[in-house]
Amino acid sequence: MSTKQSRALARKKFFADPITILTMIVIFLFLFFFVAYPLAILLKDSFATKYKEFTFDSLAYIFGTLNYGAPIVHSLIIGLAVGVGATIVGVLFAYVDVYVKVRSPFMRWLFKIVSFLPLVSPPFLVAIAIILYFGDTGFITSGVFHLSMHHELYGYPGIIIVEIITFFPTVYLMVSGLLKNIDPSLEEAARDMGASRFKVFKDVTLPLLAPGITNAFLVTFIESVADFANPLIIGGSMETMSTAIYNQINGGNGFNGPYRASAMSLVLLSISMTVFFFQKYVFEKKTVATLTGKASRQRMLIEDKKVTIPLSIICSLISLFVIVLYGTVICCSFWVNLANYSFTWDNWAVVFSSDGLGSLGATMETSLIAAPLTALISMIIAYLVVKKKVPGKGLIEFVSMLAMAVPGTILGVGFIRGYVKGFFHTGWMQGLYGTVWIIIIVFIVRSLPIGTRSATASLRQIDKSIEESAFDMGANSFKVFTTVTLPLVRDSFFASIVTSFVRSVTAISAVILLVTPQFKLITYVINEFAGKAAYPTASAYSTVLMIVSGITILAMDFVIKMLTHNRTPKEERA
């Protein structure tokens, strides 16, 4: 069949499927109003000033007077280091979780808990804990080794360490779902032919994981260059792109500050999109289907002590280090201040006041609504991109990725400028601003790229013949998606829900300008106390947030396992 005939057949199938057409329209409208439109407002501001509609004054200022080149170099170095480091640690934890038989059940749970801890806490708490231990007057640097420190921790070392700890759980969640989808018979066949475990991992497992690993690197790189909370606290005098943008907005730089910040965001967006296109058109060309629908026995876990002992030791040391950091944060919640370690309940009394409980309830409400919606929208977008030959799917994927490349604060400014006076200042949709729904939409938009990339990698592993068989038996697109595709990628779907939830409950930058006095999120309250150097009170709020988030994640895990268990045939469960 010629290319022209193939395209004609694809168009005919598309227009004969009303469910796909309606889904495409809804997705297009959502991405237009809540991704493309706010970013278009920012793009317009990049080439404008207070008194000029179109000018290059902002770009000339940031690269000339402001010397924006140094923050760009700093962000690129940090982003590459964090991307590589977080990917290595995340893949290591995922491999141990899926492939290695760890003798101690407690150790396996320890790995999983540690992987989730950085996700369910505000990111700057790790920075505070690192400063407490390795700062100029830290417990280890000054108390144990009596070192005379002169801000050596601040800058590259501190930012890279903190961000690797913060972002490697995202890699773990993304890669573990992909590892579970790999057919064990592929690796066992290589072992039966005499290949060593390392050679099997290098020549079989790693190529199958290549799309997922590159996706994970892309996510962590962009998250790193867009992060401003950690560089703000532990960056010292070093300025990154994100902190430079934040300082332009909140640093009292005059009426042209927002325009200059928009120009900086345009540079950051260009860098992030360059990485995205490189990953998409270089690595995604080499994809392999690993879910073929054929029966496969359960994976035989590795029991060789030469493998299990080293990997267990490495993961245990990392786990212990992370647990100590978070244990310090919990202890800090019972201190009077960072100079007085006397025990007190005052910080917790503030948390359990009416204002504290109100902020916690608002955070949980918005996050629990946003998480499943994000996972569903992400999976639908990925399904349209990977499994459907529909017009405009490349544009859908591109627009869904845009929000990741823009710092959350700038995205919040885009929503404010876009909707405070209505759509294009017409008054239409003006009622959206100042409501809980604009916060939920921002949560969805911020988590959508991660969910989409994870879902895309998972769907590429599914052999197309499985879904084609369902279509041949008369099932429509909705039936195939809900009964065939979604069950096959339920691990990645759950990972998307969890990732979206924890990103929402810990979000600061994207919503810090959107909250109102009547509707405060707990991260906003934590940021207020941290800004006043009331770290013990901020730690108490964060401890409550970690506990409640952890319980919610376990509950979500239990519910989804029950749903998938009930859909499994009785013979298979037996």
| DSSP state at residue 52 | -
Please say if the pLDDT value at position 155 is more than 80: yes
Give one DSSP letter per residue of 24-40, joined into a string: HHHHHHHHIIIIIHHHH
Q: What is the 3-state secondary structure (H, E, C) of 481-519?
A: HHHHHHHHCHHHHHHHHHHHHHHHHCCCCCCCCCCECCE
220 by Cβ neighbours in 10 Å (0-12 / 13-18 / 19+) ranks as buried
Tens of pLDDT along 399-431? 887 776 666 777 877 887 788 778 877 778 888
Q: Where are the alpha helices (DSSP H) in 100-155?
A: 105-116, 124-134
Q: Where are the alpha helices (DSSP H) in 100-118?
A: 105-116
- 291: β partners: 462
111 by Cβ neighbours in 10 Å (0-12 / 13-18 / 19+) ranks as buried
Pairwise pLDDT comparison (342 vs 125), residue with the higher score: 342
Please say if the pLDDT value at position 291 is more than 50: no
3-state secondary structure of 10: helix
What pLDDT does residue 176 have? 80
Nearest partner of 458 among 491, 426, 482, 425, judged by Cα: 491
Q: Give the Cα separation of 414 and 412 in Å (integer).
A: 5
Q: Give the Cα separation of 130 and 272 in Å (integer).
A: 28
Close Cβ partners of 85 (under 8 Å, ≥ 6 residues apart): 160, 164, 168
Q: Give the Cα separation of 76 and 86 in Å (integer).
A: 15
End-to-end Cα, the chain, rounded Å: 46
Q: Give the Cα separation of 436 and 511 in Å (integer).
A: 11
**Banded pLDDT at 78 (limits 50, 70, 90):** very high
The CATH architecture assigned to 10-46+351-566 reads Orthogonal Bundle (1.10)
Place of tokens 């109100």: 358
Neighbours of 365 (CB within 10 A): 15
Tens of pLDDT along 362-384? 888 898 899 889 988 888 888 88
What pLDDT does residue 321 have? 85
Tens of pLDDT along 513-536? 787 777 788 888 887 787 676 778
**Banded pLDDT at 242 (limits 50, 70, 90):** confident
Q: Give the Cα separation of 345 and 335 in Å (integer).
A: 8
What pLDDT does residue 274 have? 79
When the pLDDT of each residue in the chain is averaged and rounded to a whole number, the result is: 77
> What is the b/e burial string over 454-489, where b = at least 16 CB atoms within 10 angstroms of the residue's CB?
bbbbbbbbbeeebbeebeeeebebeebbeebbbebb
Nearest partner of 415 among 393, 385, 437, judged by Cα: 437
Average pLDDT of the segment spanning 10-17: 60
Nearest partner of 351 among 330, 366, 371, 365, judged by Cα: 330
Please say if the pLDDT value at position 81 is more than 90: yes
Residue 436 is inside which H or E element, if any? helix 436-459
Tens of pLDDT along 246-273? 777 766 666 777 778 778 878 877 887 7
Please say if the pLDDT value at position 565 is more than 70: no
Give the Å distances, CA to CA, from 53 to 48, 292, 410, 417. Answer: 5, 56, 20, 16
Q: Residue 389 phi/psi, 5° resolution?
A: -95, 80
- The one-letter amino acid code at 380 reads I
Residue 82 is inside which H or E element, if any? helix 69-99
